[in-house]
Amino acid sequence: MRTSRQKLARVLLLLIAVSPMVCGLVMSAAFYDLISRLPPGCADGSTFTPADFTSPQVDLRPYWMPDYQEVRVPSRDAPLQIAAFWITADENPSDNPAAIIAHGYSACRCSLASLMPAGMTSQIRRRSIKPV
């Protein structure tokens, strides 16, 4: 009788010791899943493209990049794919082959915040390349 009570006490003690770790693990996994999920598309509803993005405050046409392709980049976690814009260099592609604009955790490839810096970089790159 004594040994069965001792076994029961040991099992209960083990459960009491292990249950906070198990609860912490389950809660951590649930929290990670919650914060790592991304909604499809752009959260702000942006539908701009590299060839056409606008702002009411300033003329952004000099930064437009008309030669682009919509591509899908395979993710490490199949079958996910990352939507992106592939923008080929205008001149001398061996030095500056391309720019890629992709979705991020809090950024969208179709948003002005992503496209305008890429367009500015593209314009600077076009100005700095001099024909030989």
Q: What is the pLDDT of residues 105-121, one digit of tens each?
A: 677 888 888 888 888 88
Q: What is the pLDDT of residues 22-74, one digit of tens each?
A: 999 999 999 988 887 766 667 666 788 999 998 889 999 988 988 888 888 88
Domains of the chain by residue range: 1-37, 61-128
User: Is pLDDT above 60 for 132?
Assistant: no
Sign of the Cα pseudo-torsion (28, 29, 30, 33, in order): positive
Residue 131 pLDDT? 47
Q: 3-state DSSP call for residue 79?
A: coil
Residue 96 pLDDT? 62
Residue 67 pLDDT? 84
Neighbours of 42 (CB within 10 A): 16
Sign of the Cα pseudo-torsion (35, 41, 43, 49, in order): positive
Q: Pick the residue with more confidence: 28 or 91?
A: 28
Give the helix ranges, DSSP H, for the chain: 2-36, 112-128
Residue 93 pLDDT? 58
Sign of the Cα pseudo-torsion (124, 127, 128, 131, in order): positive
Work out the average pLDDT over 14-24: 90
**Spatial contact of 83 and 89, defined as CB atoms under 8 Å apart:** no
Cα–Cα distance measured from residue 99 to residue 115, given in angstroms and rounded to the nearest whole number:
11
Residue 24 pLDDT? 92
Cα–Cα distance measured from residue 49 to residue 67, given in angstroms and rounded to the nearest whole number:
11
